[in-house]
Amino acid sequence: MECGPGNLPIGLNRFRHFAAIDWSGAVGERQGGIALALCPAGESAPALIHPGHRWSRPEVLRWLLAEMPADTLVGFDLGISLAFADRDAFFPGWAESPPDARGLWALIDRICTGDPHLSVPSFVDHCEAARHFRRHGGREGDLFGADGQKGGRGRFRVTELAQQAMGCKPYSNFNLVGAAQVGKSSLSGMRLLHRLERRLPVWPIDPLPDGGSVVVEIYTTIAAMAAGRSAGRSKIRTVEELNRALAMLGSDPVPGEGSIDDHKSDALLTAAWLRRAGHRRELWEPAGMSPDIAHTEGWTFGAG
């Protein structure tokens, strides 16, 4: 990769805005669990976009394509792909199993064409796909486990193993059960990524361009740990706690006091962290990410 001032690859020192999106895969049109935050380069406090608005997933897509400022590094709190490297396939034994992440996004969106609000019930209940997921009601596919059988925590991407080595507690994207699972939000997010139609590059599925905005996968716990929190105490529920964490990241405080829901605090803190971390060359070149992993499983920005 060609380098610019300060020995940074061209493309790392030109972001002018930093956004974080706390995402949701829950049923329904509008989601209280979706929050968008944005901050400019510098030290100004991050701010919520349309505070008080209850976002739909298609509205987030429209914001990305029509309202997001130019030259924004934007992070999505979801998994941009599924495990592939462990078994050399997303869905071993299924003839339609795609060869890369973009093929996976297209497959999910095609099967879910009739599902509203970028939801994914048709995919998780598909006769072949369901064999690989753990679903509600004690329904566990016969190929859910890491060894291709039932049981266990499910399959993990290489980047999720890197998160685990950092002290995080990732969940398999094949697990759709439990309060901490991110499987449904990841699958619905893949529908959105497919509908970007390459109008925004998604790193590392796409190479980092020399200019313009870029989408990355984020894990808000990594941002919280960078701000002095532990993995077990990553959720922030008061403005006072949030401002102490923001100060650790060199950010001005947000206004207000008292309680704040953790979807909003996750987005605000992670936008500020992206501003601080987005210029670090080593985060764009993680040691565990090969070209094959980049194109199939993707990577979590900051993991490793």
- φ, ψ dihedrals at 215, nearest 5°: -100, 135
pLDDT digits (tens, 9 = 90+) for 228-256: 998 888 899 999 999 999 999 999 999 99
Band (2; pLDDT cuts 50, 70, 90):
very low
Annotated domain spans of the chain = 5-80+195-284
Whose CA is closest to 158, among 5, 11, 294, 3? 294
User: What CA–CA distance (Å, rounded) separates 277 from 70?
Assistant: 19
Band (11; pLDDT cuts 50, 70, 90):
low
134 with 154: CB under 8 angstroms? yes
User: What CA–CA distance (Å, rounded) separates 187 from 205?
Assistant: 16
Q: Which residue has the tokens 């609000």?
A: 117
**pLDDT of amino acid 221:** 96
Peptide bond into 255 cis (omega under 30): no
pLDDT digits (tens, 9 = 90+) for 27-81: 888 988 999 999 999 999 999 999 989 999 999 999 999 999 999 999 999 999 9
pLDDT digits (tens, 9 = 90+) for 80-135: 999 999 999 999 999 999 999 999 999 999 999 999 999 999 999 999 999 999 99
Please report, for residues 40, 155, 190, 289, the alpha-carbon distance to residue 161 in angstroms, rounded to integers and kept in the order given.
32, 10, 21, 12
Tokens of 141: 């596919």
Average pLDDT of the residues of the chain: 93
Amino acid found at 9? P
Degrees to nearest 5, angle at CA 19 with 118 and 182: 45
Q: What is the arithmetic mean of pLDDT over 158-183? A: 93
